[in-house]
Amino acid sequence: MVPVVVVHGGAGTALTCEELCKLGVQEAALAGYHVLQQGGSALDAAEAAVIHLENNPIYNAGCGSALNELKDVEMDALIVDGRTLDCGAVAAVRRIANPITLSRLVMEKTNHVCLAGEGASKFAKAMGIKEVSEESLRTEYSIKMWEKTRHFNEGSDQSEESKSGTVGAVVLDSKGDLASATSTGGIVKKMVGRVGDTPMIGCGGFADNLVGAASATGHGEAIMKVTLSRLVIFHMEQGMSPSQAADTALEYMNTRVKGKGGIIVISKSGEWTAKCNTKRMAWATVKDGILHYGSQHGEHNTKPLANPSGHS
C-alpha cells in the first residue's frame, strides 16, 4: 500500500496569515510522512502531524487556541484507530500543550473514550504529562480576537474573522491501516465548558480500515448535528469516491443546518480529497513522493519532495 498523509489547518474565510497557514500544513504533512518513512504506524503519523500544528501558534489548537468567555484556553481533541475503531478524546482540557497526545493515552491506557475538564487534567498528571502555563497557550492574536469579538453566538460564522479553525490529519500507512486525529481550541468567547464536534467520534473525525478516514473542521454545532465525518464514510460505504462523499455531506450540512466547514478524507485504497464550502481551508497531502497543497477554494499546487525520506 502506498502511504498517504493529508492534513488541514481549519476552514474559514479570513486572509490573516494565509501564506503561513499554507506553509504550516505542508510542514505538518511532511512531519507525518517522515514518521511513516521511519516505520511508524498511521496512528503515529497522524499524532505527529497534529502535534506539529498544535505547536504552531498560527493555528487554533494548542498554543494559539481561541479564548473562552473568561479569556482562558479550553481545548478538545480526538484520535481514532481504523484497525479496531478504538478512539480516545479529551474535552475542555486546560494547560496541556498537546491535547492530541493526551487523547491517544485515553485510548490506550483507559477503558473510556473521552475524559473532560478536571478529570482529563488528573489523568494527564498520572500519565506524566506536565502542565504548561495558561499564558504559554495564549497569543497576541488570540487576545486580539477575544477583545474584538462581542460575544459567542452559536449560529454565527466566526471564521469570517478568525485565522482558522480546527486542525487535523488522516493517514494511510503501508500496511493499509488508517487513522484520524483532530484538535481544536474551539470558538472565541465560547461559554466555559462548551465542547464542540472535535472530540465526538464520527463528528470531528472517524477512521475505519474497511472504508476510509476523515477529519472535519468548521461550525462545531452544525458538524455535530449531521455527524459529518461519519456521514462522509457512510457515503463511501455506498460506493461514492472520497470527493463525491465529501461534496455530498458538506452540501447536506449547508442545506439542512446552514453549516459551513471542510473535511479531509482518505479511502482504504489511498484515494484522498480535501474539500470545503468556505472560501479557504489550508491543506496539504504527501503521496508518491509528491507534496500537494492549497488554501483558497479550488486551489491545488504540487511539488516533488526534495528529500524522499520526507524531511522538510
Q: CATH code for 4-67+77-85+137-304?
A: 3.60.20.30
Q: What is the mean pLDDT of each run of 10 residues along the chain (312 residues)?
A: 96 73 96 97 98 96 96 97 98 98 98 97 97 95 89 47 73 98 96 96 98 96 97 98 98 97 97 95 96 90 76 40
Domains of the chain: which residue ranges?
Answer: 4-67+77-85+137-304
Would you state the pLDDT for residue 152? 56
Could you tell me if residue 298 is left (phi over 0), alpha (psi between -120 and 50 degrees) or otherwise beta?
left
pLDDT of residue 16: 63
Grid-cell match 472520497, residue found: 242
| pLDDT at residue 166, rounded to an integer | 87
184 is catalytic: no
Query: What SS3 string covers 167-192?
Result: EEEEEECCCCCEEEEEEECCCCCCCC
* pLDDT given for residue 32 in this prediction: 98
Which stretches of the chain are DSSP H helices? 18-37, 42-54, 99-109, 117-126, 134-137, 140-148, 220-226, 228-237, 242-257
CB proximity list for 167: less than 8 A, separation 6 or greater: 7, 8, 9, 10, 28, 50, 53, 54, 59, 60, 61, 182, 183, 184, 217
Confidence at residue 153, expressed as pLDDT on a 0 to 100 scale: 54
To which H or E segment does residue 273 belong? strand 272-276
Cross-strand bridge partners of residue 280? 12, 296
What lies within 8 Å, CB to CB, of 163 at 6+ separation is 10, 12, 14, 16, 17, 21, 58, 59, 60, 141, 145
**pLDDT at residue number 82:** 98
Catalytic member of 16, 84, 101, 166: 166
